């Protein structure tokens, strides 16, 4: 956003210290913590602080990330970083999208979610195609209500059956473009270098550190 003189408003910087990862997803908490390790940031999860999970009522990835980060910052009194991410399948008009976690049900059964996605694509017929992409929105909020948001994306294709036991969520059924293995087969260091979360995180780092 720019002011009347065409100058972009300054983005608030984040200094070393404690930061809440506003997620109860152990995989996301671990992955974000690893990405932040070299910046002097001590992370603590919303789950470890017994913070409630807010209703994700936003209609975009960024809106949901912002509401999660703002609630965690308000309740903890600390800066908070929230992620909202999901798998978007072209043949399903972008679904499951912002509802990616909900497709896994109350038990967070992503084997069921992957099967549901694949079955839905197969039901579209042989011409549906398997193109898909992951989106990640990161929102960084402070207790005073200030928030910064960044979005990343990685394109790829769906594969079946799922492969690999690394990563989490839909990773085993997603093969990024230019690679012969799924995110579920990929070593964390390699995934961190090119994933949707890495893309969003690179934008966040360039802005706030």
Of 139, 96, 143, which is closest to residue 115 (Cα–Cα)?
96
Cβ neighbours of residue 189 closer than 8 Å, sequence gap 6 or more: none
Residue 96 token pair: 């499951």
Instruction: Yes or no: say if 132 and 174 are a contact pair by the CB < 8 Å rule.
Output: yes
Residue 162 token pair: 């799922």
In the set 3, 83, 84, 144, the catalytic residue is 84
Residues comprising the binding site?
A: 23-28, 55, 84-85, 168-171, 191, 196-197
Distance CA 193, CA 79 (A): 25
Residues comprising the binding site for substrate?
A: 23-28, 85, 168-171, 191, 196-197
84 is catalytic: yes
Catalytic residue ranges: 84
């Amino acid at each position: 956003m720019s002011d009347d003189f065409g100058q972009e408003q300054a983005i608030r910087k984040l200094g070393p210290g404690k930061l809440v990862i506003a997620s109860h997803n152990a995989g996301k908490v671990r992955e974000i913590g690893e990405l932040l390790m070299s910046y002097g940031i001590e992370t603590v999860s919303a789950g470890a602080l017994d913070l409630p999970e807010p209703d994700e009522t936003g209609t975009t990835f960024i809106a949901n990330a912002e509401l999660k980060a703002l609630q965690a910052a308000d309740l903890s009194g600390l800066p908070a970083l929230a992620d909202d991410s999901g798998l978007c399948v072209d043949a399903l008009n972008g679904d499951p999208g912002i509802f990616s976690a909900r497709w896994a049900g109350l038990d967070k059964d992503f084997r069921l979610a992957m099967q549901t996605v694949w079955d839905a694509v197969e039901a579209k017929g042989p011409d549906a195609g398997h193109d898909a992409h992951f989106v990640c929105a990161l929102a960084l909020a402070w207790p005073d209500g200030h928030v910064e948001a960044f979005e990343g994306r990685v394109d790829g294709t769906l594969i079946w059956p799922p492969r690999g036991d690394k990563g989490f969520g839909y990773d085993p059924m997603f093969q990024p473009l230019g690679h012969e293995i799924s995110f579920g087969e990929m070593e964390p260091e390699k995934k961190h270098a090119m994933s949707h979360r890495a893309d969003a995180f690179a934008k966040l780092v360039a802005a706030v550190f």
